[in-house]
Amino acid sequence: MPDERRRGSFPSSENGQGEEVVSAGLRGIVESLVAARDEGAPVVLGVPRSMEGVLGGVALTYLAHSDPSSTRVCDRKELQPGLLERVLLVSEASEDELVPLARRVWQSLGQRCGAGCTNRILYACASDDPNMPQVVSRYVRLSFSLGRTVTTSLAHADVLAIDTLARQVSSECEKTRQFARFSHLPSGGWFCSFSPRANTLPLCAQHFSRRMRGDRFCMLDPIHGVAVFHEAGERTARVARLDPGMARQMGERASDVDAEERKFQEMWATFYRSMELPGRDAASRGYDLRIQFMPKRLWDSLPELAKTPASPYAGWASKPQGTLGQQRIGSA
Amino acid sequence: MDAMDKLAILAEAAKFDAACTSSGVERGPRKGDVGDARAAGCCHSFAPDGRCITLLKVLMSNACSYDCAYCVNRRGASCPRATFSPKELAELTIGFYKRNYIEGLFLSSGVLGTPDETTERMIACLRTLRQDYHFNGYIHAKVIPGTSPELVRRLGLLADRLSSNVELPSSASLQALCPDKDSRAVLAPMGQIARGRREEESRLLAQGRGASLARRPASGDMGPGLGGAALRMTLNKSRSAVPNSHRKFAPAGQSTQLIVGASPETDRQILRLSESLYKKFDLKRVFFSAYMPMLSDSRLPEPGTPVPLRREHRLYQADWLMRYYDFSPGELVTEDRPWLDLDLDPKLAWAIANLDRFPVEVMTASLETLLRVPGIGPVGARRIIAARRTQRLSFDDLASLKITLKRARPFVTCCGRRDRGSVLDEGYLRRKAVEDARSTRYSHARREAEGQLSLF
């Protein structure tokens, strides 16, 4: 699709000055992409699994005027080359050099296609789906080709693919906002460890910064090795990538709670159990409605589902009562 | 009695209230305050029965001088009684909020002496929470029928949402089951809240603090839940020119609740009442609570009678159709057929009864027409309208757009073509829909609970 490629190219590369925006570390990859294009060889480009990595990778294929039909963008850690495919990898040393390229693609997309397009990309890039880099790459090319109409081309295969990823991530973000649970640390401040099925903490950090502006808190995602740090009074939080050792060390703080914290967790469990209404449970419905909204994979981190001592008054309103005359068993 | 025992008693006492939403107001964080409020709300947990838990829903006290027949806290009930102090309740709310367990507080109360005395205590609780503990999150407060207007006004300045429960669908039933309440006392605060909100709106508009509707989000891009909450989903419904974040008095509006199945009113009576409440008092929600027979009383269904979950579900569906699909109660239930069909959802039942309006052509149908098609909701209808601007839609495309084709297929054409194998015949559609509905696990369980239902 030569027309599409030309329309989506960087203006600088259209003028034959594409190399000027590429650092020395990435120039070799662009040259290899150009060589593959000239020889008609299929290429798989391995990039870091991040928005910067994927958009930077797409930028490299634009700069090389690669043929989209024979160029794949993949996570470099999960890369599996196809038959006859040439493998090109963005090295860890060159990772930071992708950032200015990614920023350029991001800004161009915003101007050309609007926030509806960039929002989809933002959410899709947080997905754990192995095909994410290629799905995003195809959508970026389509967006540059169609302009603002990409947001209304809802039945296009590439739009459907990215919509599916973005919807999954959006749903996982909501679960993060719903089910992340904080504990008060004996040393002061709040801590939360949450294991989502997408890299949602960077997308939800602002939500928690607003909600807990006056507090110092830390959120940990041990699966994706990401932590969010917020200082009391700050408007924003800082997001950091952690190595596995550091993530494990931080995760151990989750169980570091004092008696006051345990008391609050028990009170929450008491309240939770009190909310159940008789005659509406799974047996009465034929299915468990709760699991649809609160997946079992998250239950271990929810204090309301932990076994805690019950109050002697638990469940009093769910038991059939007499009418008058029985002794009152409590008082104000 | 310690806070744990009080919580166990007062949460149990409050759980029969259906409302647990924290939506309707957007309020950003303020320096020195705790929390914020999101217009979309957030469910933080789900009870074993599947209902969402968003707020710390408790009674301030379950000691009550009223004697409503269906209420577990009524004057004559033999039950443990407790009362929270303002400080206890505030500390509990803040503690739960900071742990991300809740979005805020839902405060109701038994009638401690008189409605005014009770409301004074509730106001003291909320003032402690707002002013001493600087809580900036969501608060839903219940208005006790008979409370004086000045106290309702003060309550509305501390809470985001107010609600006055209608309780029962007719004043005759209210009189029979709640001898201490009368419908005028229930409706008076609703009228006052609606007037108060209208007056504040006029005042804010006069001060130039209304938001231009043109500047508010339009429904152009139907992204995957990205900004979807900002889309206007309602039809023919007036929209305030004043954002709720500018309001001080009950910014999230008001709601009500009525009990279904404790008294003999039909679905038609209930839906007509709901419609009139929405129109007259600009309610945000009418909640239906299926009656749970816990008490022995000759005026009520016997303990052990199955909870009318299906009826409650159909009423919520009908309410949804009225609020988001522009249906009127007269289209869903009539004088001849005053009950909603328990085996068919109300939209499908309406479509089957109005087959002359179908099939609908997806390439040309208006939003209002698409919304009448079973299987097409507000999001799906807008996706169709967006997608058809750039391409001719087929049935496969509709499936890609996440339209529920199992329902919609017989009722639509794509570029003039019907789906092969779909029959637009009343008898066939009805039989198939009923067969599908009856084969679900839900239906099996409900049939076991309620006994075999007659279909037609």
pLDDT, tens only, B197-223: 999 999 999 888 776 544 444 444 444
Q: Is residue A319 part of a domain?
A: no
Inspect the interface and report whether the beta carbons of B441 and A302 lie closer than 8 Å: no
Does residue B442 surpass a pLDDT of 70? yes
Residues A33 and A166 in one domain: yes
Name A125's Cβ contacts closer than 8 Å, sequence gap at least 6: A50, A51, A54, A55, A132, A136
Taking CA A15 as the corner, what is the angle to CA A11 and CA A18, rounded to the nearest 5 degrees?
75
Give CA–CA dist B433/B427, Å, rounded: 10
Q: Is residue A312 part of a domain?
A: no
pLDDT tens readout for residues A233-265: 999 999 999 988 888 888 887 777 888 999 999
Does residue A95 surpass a pLDDT of 80? yes
Residues A71 and A196 in one domain: no
Q: Is residue A33 part of a domain?
A: yes
The alpha carbons of chain B give a radius of gyration, in whole angstroms, of: 24
Predicted local distance difference test score (pLDDT) of residue B450: 64
B306 close contact with A: CB closer than 8 A: yes
B155 by Cβ neighbours in 10 Å (0-12 / 13-18 / 19+) ranks as: buried
Residues A154 and A277 in one domain: no
Taking CA B77 as the corner, what is the angle to CA B72 and CA B82, rounded to the nearest 5 degrees?
75
B79 close contact with A: CB closer than 8 A: yes
Does residue A171 surpass a pLDDT of 60? yes
Best mutation target among B1, B2, B70, B78 (most A Cβ atoms within 10 Å) is B78
Q: What is the DSSP secondary-structure string of B118-136?
A: HHHHHHHHHHIIIIIS-B-
Inspect the interface and report whether the beta carbons of B11 and A271 lie closer than 8 Å: yes
Q: Is residue A273 part of a domain?
A: yes
How would residue B455 be classed by pLDDT, with cut points 50, 70 and 90? very low
Q: Choose the final residue of a domain: A137, A170, A203.
A: A170
Hey, how many other C-beta atoms are within 10 angstroms of the C-beta on A69? Answer: 8
Residues of A within 8 A of B449 (CB-CB) are 284
The length of chain B, given as a count of residues:
456
Residues A149 and A28 in one domain: yes
% pLDDT > 90, chain B: 64
Inspect the interface and report whether the beta carbons of B47 and A178 lie closer than 8 Å: no
Predicted local distance difference test score (pLDDT) of residue A145: 95
Does residue A25 surpass a pLDDT of 70? yes
- Mean pLDDT for the stretch of residues B57-68: 93
- Domains of chain B in sequence order: 3-211+237-258 (3.20.20), 353-450 (1.10.150.320)
Residues A157 and A31 in one domain: yes
Residue B167, helix vs strand vs coil: strand
Hey, how many other C-beta atoms are within 10 angstroms of the C-beta on A325? Answer: 7
Predicted local distance difference test score (pLDDT) of residue A276: 87
Question: Pick the residue with more confidence: A216 or B454?
Answer: A216
Task: Give the single-character DSSP code of A115.
Answer: H
Q: Choose the final residue of a domain: A144, A170, A196.
A: A170
Cα dihedral sign, A205-A208-A213-A218: negative
Residue A290: CA atoms inside 13 Å, Cβ hemisphere, count? 21
How would residue B449 be classed by pLDDT, with cut points 50, 70 and 90? low
What angle, 0 to 180 degrees and rounded to 10, lies between the N-to-C axes of helices A51-63 and A115-124?
120
Predicted local distance difference test score (pLDDT) of residue B302: 84
Residues A149 and A251 in one domain: no
A166, A287, A328 member nearest B81 (Cβ): A328
Residues of B within 8 A of A114 (CB-CB) are 221
pLDDT tens readout for residues B351-390: 999 999 999 999 999 999 999 999 999 999 999 999 998 8
- Mean pLDDT for the stretch of residues A86-112: 93
Inspect the interface and report whether the beta carbons of A317 and B12 lie closer than 8 Å: yes
State both tokens at B107.
Answer: 């405060």
Query: Quick check: A268 and A303 in contact, CB under 8 A?
Result: yes
% pLDDT > 70, chain B: 92
Residues A264 and A286 in one domain: yes
Residues A216 and A271 in one domain: yes
Query: Quick check: B129 and B139 in contact, CB under 8 A?
Result: yes
Best mutation target among B27, B56, B79, B450 (most A Cβ atoms within 10 Å) is B79
Mean pLDDT is lowest, of A118-122, A305-309, B399-403, for A305-309
Does residue A329 surpass a pLDDT of 90? no
Residues A139 and A113 in one domain: yes
Which residue type is seen at A304?
Answer: E
B113 close contact with A: CB closer than 8 A: no
Q: Is residue A323 part of a domain?
A: no
A184, A274, A289 member nearest B49 (Cβ): A289
- The owner of tokens 């805020």 is B104
Question: Pick the residue with more confidence: B17 or A146?
Answer: A146
How would residue B225 be classed by pLDDT, with cut points 50, 70 and 90? very low
Predicted local distance difference test score (pLDDT) of residue B245: 86
Cβ-count burial B308-332 (b if 16+ within 10 Å, e if not): bbbbbbbbebbbbbbbebbbebebb
What's the mean per-residue pLDDT of chain B? 88
Does residue B359 have a cis peptide bond before it, meaning omega lies within 30 degrees of 0? yes
Does residue B416 surpass a pLDDT of 90? yes
How would residue B234 be classed by pLDDT, with cut points 50, 70 and 90? low
B80, B295, B393 member nearest A329 (Cβ): B80
Residues A210 and A160 in one domain: no
Q: What is the DSSP secondary-structure string of A200-245?
A: -HHHHHHHHHHHTTTS-EEEEETTTTEEEEE-TT-SS-EEEE--HH
Residues of B within 8 A of A233 (CB-CB) are 31
Inspect the interface and report whether the beta carbons of B46 and A279 lie closer than 8 Å: no
How would residue A22 be classed by pLDDT, with cut points 50, 70 and 90? confident
Best mutation target among B12, B92, B440 (most A Cβ atoms within 10 Å) is B12
pLDDT tens readout for residues A40-54: 999 999 999 999 999
Give CA–CA dist A67/B136, Å, rounded: 55
Residues of A within 8 A of B28 (CB-CB) are 210
Residues of B within 8 A of A179 (CB-CB) are 44-45
A154, A170, A272 member nearest B383 (Cβ): A154
State both tokens at A216.
Answer: 């110092």
Residues A22 and A82 in one domain: yes
Query: Quick check: B37 and B104 in contact, CB under 8 A?
Result: yes
Does residue B7 surpass a pLDDT of 80? yes
How would residue B235 be classed by pLDDT, with cut points 50, 70 and 90? low
If you measure CA to CA, which chain A residue comes closest to B449? A284
Q: Choose the final residue of a domain: A170, A194, A221.
A: A170
How would residue A320 be classed by pLDDT, with cut points 50, 70 and 90? low
Predicted local distance difference test score (pLDDT) of residue A332: 30
Task: Give the single-character DSSP code of B452.
Answer: P
B246 by Cβ neighbours in 10 Å (0-12 / 13-18 / 19+) ranks as: middle
B385 close contact with A: CB closer than 8 A: no
Q: Is residue A314 part of a domain?
A: no
Predicted local distance difference test score (pLDDT) of residue A210: 95
Owning domain of residue A185: 178-305
Does residue B395 surpass a pLDDT of 50? yes
Predicted local distance difference test score (pLDDT) of residue A20: 58
Interface confidence, given as ipTM, is 0.88
Q: Is residue A327 part of a domain?
A: no
Residues of B within 8 A of A208 (CB-CB) are 100
How would residue B435 be classed by pLDDT, with cut points 50, 70 and 90? confident
Mean pLDDT is lowest, of A113-122, A323-332, B319-328, for A323-332
Residues A117 and A254 in one domain: no
Q: Is residue A329 part of a domain?
A: no
φ/ψ region of A209 (left if φ > 0, alpha if ψ in -120 to 50, else beta) reads alpha
% pLDDT > 90, chain A: 65
Inspect the interface and report whether the beta carbons of B83 and A313 lie closer than 8 Å: no
Domain count along chain A: 2
Question: Pick the residue with more confidence: B107 or B229?
Answer: B107
What's the mean per-residue pLDDT of chain A? 87
If contacts are CB pairs under 8 Å, which of residues 216-275 in chain B contact chain A?
Answer: 220-227
B49, B393, B444 member nearest A277 (Cβ): B49
The alpha carbons of chain A give a radius of gyration, in whole angstroms, of: 26
- Mean pLDDT for the stretch of residues B97-108: 96
